[in-house]
Amino acid sequence: MNDMSRRTQSSDRAVRPLPDETMWVRGVRSGPFGVLDIGSTKIACLIGRAESDGRLRALGFGWQKSRGIKSGGIIDLDVAEKAIRAAVGTAEEQADIRLKSVYVNLSCGQPESRLFNVQWPVDGRAVTADDIKRVVREARVRAMSEGRATIHVLPLSFSTDETIGVSDPRGLFCDTLTAQLHVVDSGNTALRTLSACLSRCELDIAALVSAPMAAGLASLVDDERELGATVVDMGGGTTTLAVFAEGRLLHTAQLPIGGIHVTNDIARGFSTSVAHAERLKALYGNCQGSPDDERELLPVPQVGEDEHQIMKVPRSMLISIIRPRLEEIFELVKDRMETAGLGSTGGTRVVLTGGASQLGGVREMAAQILERNVRLGRPGGMIGLPDSATSANFATLVGLLAFATGDGQTMQDINFESERHGGWLRGVVDFLKNRI
């Protein structure tokens, strides 16, 4: 069966449709759910559910080399559709489930993160869920910007008159309710392209989820989320970061630079193919030198030359190409962390995820440049996931499933469905369900 027919010929096999209703176990949505990580180097689909003890279980998994994607955005609908169909089809066959909608990572449209303070008059009565909805709606209105769509409106904390630091103000009496909210938005045209591509794959978007937020849900432990930590997800086409503290997502940012840029630097520096440059990076890549690097010679076939014409280069030359690009990435990350205006709120700990974080010496370089404690993160606590999918470059995928089951979502019993707008936004909102 080819990639295109993998999903459309579902009638030939007994496949259970994904249920519309999900049950709640200890405040966790059990599922099953389908999630889709659309990245610049890979497209991965995971179908899973939450067990009665809250642990996540994988039911089906599929992935493909990314095609038609650049810096998190779709640049070729046809080839992207084929790759998505193949990844989703493999996961569906393993899980024996037909997906109608998926939770998707938000990487396209240059996502931006902003904080808003909203005051709402309560006039001495008890705060209700409707008051909180109005506060969220007001934040959406303030955040509206031409050509952009709101993805997340996340309540961080509330104040009831002089009482600050309230996590859930319902039932408390006050004259004025004040809320601090974190808003994430993205470019509308990129979102419409994403929606159109998934529609061609016969999939709706259940929700868009900030990619670094998902990586944090998968790789941070509870104490890190509470005390403060910054996740740096080093992907292929982009590097994203998410700041967590007091169990909340406080800030996100995206840089248009990642592991692919390191690979391209190697290809240009050695006049070799991109495929061989990727192989050199994976097998011999490092950003910290050693005394033996001058003596270790690496085979490098030259572009356009006879296949037997192979140049030998010392490993030290490879490191000298890799190191400056990674230094640039971490310098940009440091600048974004400093300009976020969060001070020490994000803690003194950084957790690295993503494929590029697996290069040798990255942790030590990050600790030196960022001047923080750094550890390498990987998705944990997942049952049934293949060993090949438990590395750091699948953190976002596992985090998407965690989000689908309710992790990272506040006040899950309140429906924060945004009001629909006419014109160009109506078509986007049909697919992009703004939710917390």
Domains and CATH numbers, the chain: 113-185 (3.30.1490.110), 216-393 (3.30.420.40)
Burial label for 67, CB within 10 Å (0-12, 13-18, 19+), is middle
Tokens of 200: 């061609």
Q: Which residues of 401-436 are buried (b: 16+ CB within 10 A; e: fewer)?
A: bbbbbbbbbebeebebebeeeeeebeebbebbbbbb
| One-letter amino acid for residue 132 of the chain | I
Q: Are 74 and 197 in contact (CB under 8 A)?
A: yes
- pLDDT by residue for the chain (436 residues), tens only, comes to 444 444 544 434 344 555 433 333 335 787 799 999 999 889 999 999 988 888 899 999 999 999 999 888 899 999 999 999 999 999 999 999 999 999 999 988 889 898 989 999 999 999 999 999 999 888 888 888 778 888 888 888 899 998 998 989 999 999 999 999 999 999 989 999 999 999 999 999 999 999 999 999 999 999 999 999 999 999 988 999 999 998 889 999 999 999 999 999 999 999 999 999 999 999 998 988 888 888 889 989 888 776 667 888 999 999 999 999 999 999 999 999 888 877 777 778 999 999 899 999 999 999 999 999 999 998 877 888 888 788 888 999 999 999 999 887 777 777 776 444 433 344 444 444 444 4
- How confident is the model at residue 178, as a pLDDT? 93
- How confident is the model at residue 27, as a pLDDT? 56
